[in-house]
Amino acid sequence: MKTIKKISVLGLVSALTLVNAACVPEESGSESSAVASGSGLNGRGYDQAITVTPEEVERSFETAACDLSELQREMLELVNKARAEGQYCGKEYYPPVGALTWNCTLVKAGEIHNADMVKNNFFAHEGSDGLKAGARLDRVGYKWATYGENLAAGFIEPKDAMVALLDSPGHCRNIMGAKYQEFGAASIFYTEAEYSHYWSQLYGTKL
């Protein structure tokens, strides 16, 4: 995996420049990550202090209702809009595919990984415990036949993250994957972490 380096872009609320850190697919999984520099907030009320551990996030999720936040609903709509339109992922055209349904267990895996990344200040598919996306899905009880993970950092708004992800062939292929049926997305904002705002997108199909 390529080393992620922060990109400084002065004066932009959300920079669309990104560094691709696509990993070699394994166990029917596909992983891609994107990073960009961004500054500015927009009044959506992002949390600015994270003091929980990944384990605490996991415990809190077990009793939480599966309600989509405004940001999550927007991200789901943007992903399904891209799938319905068809996309060029690099030079390869991907025709329209069916809409994805929201899955709370996928969200759970993303929330745990986001908390891990901000607490330990890193940006990668491999967690501080050495687990990658497939193992995290196993951990939260998602019985997958196939999965995909997109990570993005430095993007505040879902629409800005999606523009950058669709511009990157590896991320775009995950978004347009016809083999996926379900989707979950989690975001976290933490001023002490290198990129402040982190997104995890999880795509999956159950056994």
Answer whether residue 190 shows pLDDT above 50: yes
Q: Measuring CA to CA, how many Å separate 66 from each of 69, 167, 180?
A: 9, 30, 20
Q: Which residues pair with 186 in a beta bridge?
A: 200
pLDDT at residue 175 greater than cutoff 70:
yes
Q: How much is the pLDDT for 99?
A: 98
Q: What share of the chain is helix, strand, coil (3-state, %, to 5)?
A: 30, 20, 45
Integer Cα distance of 177 and 191 in angstroms: 33
Angle formed by the axes of helices 104-120 and 54-62, nearest 10° = 160
Report which of 52, 125, 71, 98 is spatially closest to residue 205, judged by C-alpha positions.
98
User: What's the confidence (pLDDT) of residue 156?
Assistant: 84
Average pLDDT over residues 15-35: 39
Mean residue pLDDT of the chain comes to: 76
Neighbours of 59 (CB within 10 A): 12
Reading the block at residue 121, the tokens are 């200040």
Q: What is the pLDDT of residues 79-103, one digit of tens each?
A: 999 999 999 999 999 999 999 999 9
Tell me the mean pLDDT in the region 158-169: 94
pLDDT score for 18: 33
